[in-house]
């Protein structure tokens, strides 16, 4: 066998081994390493008429998947807390955004509280402090204000706060 044929055979063998060992396929994606070691993903969209469209626009695909993920979470919150679709989406988007932050600062926590509940975080701290001392009026007033900002009832807002902050409330000895 000539050197050329040997090198060609070796190249083909290596590329098939590389492709066979590193291929990933799902119902809509096909990802693999090509001959040059590039990771390539192709998105297949199956239309209702049976035709297949393919795309390598992974950024759009990831954005669509993220949007669908948020929509599923929003639907869960709509059902769990009996919220409107708009408020379920607001709650879902806020929690997803918050969970994407790896190193949360106090400012991130304050921003989350402000976006989600529409109240000043310093008021939350003061209300929790009063509740620890036995005066729940500030906390109840704050929950009522957050419920009005969120467009829901105070009892639903208490359920939301319990769901997201049960551990922190228990550590502080506060119950809603």
In tens digits, the chain (176 residues) has pLDDT values of 454 444 444 444 343 433 333 434 445 556 666 666 666 666 566 666 666 565 566 777 777 778 888 888 899 999 998 889 998 998 888 888 888 877 878 888 888 888 888 888 888 888 888 888 888 899 899 999 999 988 889 999 989 888 888 888 888 787 77
pTM: 0.59
Domain locations along the chain: 11-56, 63-100, 104-176
- Helices 58-81 and 154-172 cross at an angle (nearest 10°) of 100
- The span from the CA of 29 to the CA of 38, in Å, is 16
Pinpoint the alpha helices (H) of 30-136.
58-81, 85-100, 106-117, 121-132
């Amino acid at each position: 066998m000539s050197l050329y044929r040997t090198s060609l055979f070796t190249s083909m063998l290596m590329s098939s081994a590389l492709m066979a060992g590193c291929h990933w396929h799902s119902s809509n994606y096909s990802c693999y390493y090509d001959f040059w070691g590039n990771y390539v993903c192709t998105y297949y969209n199956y239309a209702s008429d049976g035709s297949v469209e393919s795309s390598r626009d992974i950024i759009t695909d990831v954005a669509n998947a993220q949007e669908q993920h948020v929509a599923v979470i929003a639907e869960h919150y709509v059902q769990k807390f009996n919220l409107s679709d708009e408020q379920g989406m607001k709650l879902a988007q806020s929690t997803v955004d918050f969970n994407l932050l790896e190193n949360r600062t106090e400012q991130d926590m304050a921003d989350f509280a402000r976006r989600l509940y529409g109240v000043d975080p310093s008021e939350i701290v003061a209300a929790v402090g009063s509740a620890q001392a036995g005066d729940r009026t500030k906390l109840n007033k704050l929950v009522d204000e957050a419920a009005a900002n969120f467009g829901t009832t105070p009892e639903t807002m208490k359920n939301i706060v319990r769901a997201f902050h049960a551990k922190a409330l228990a550590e502080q000895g506060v119950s809603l």
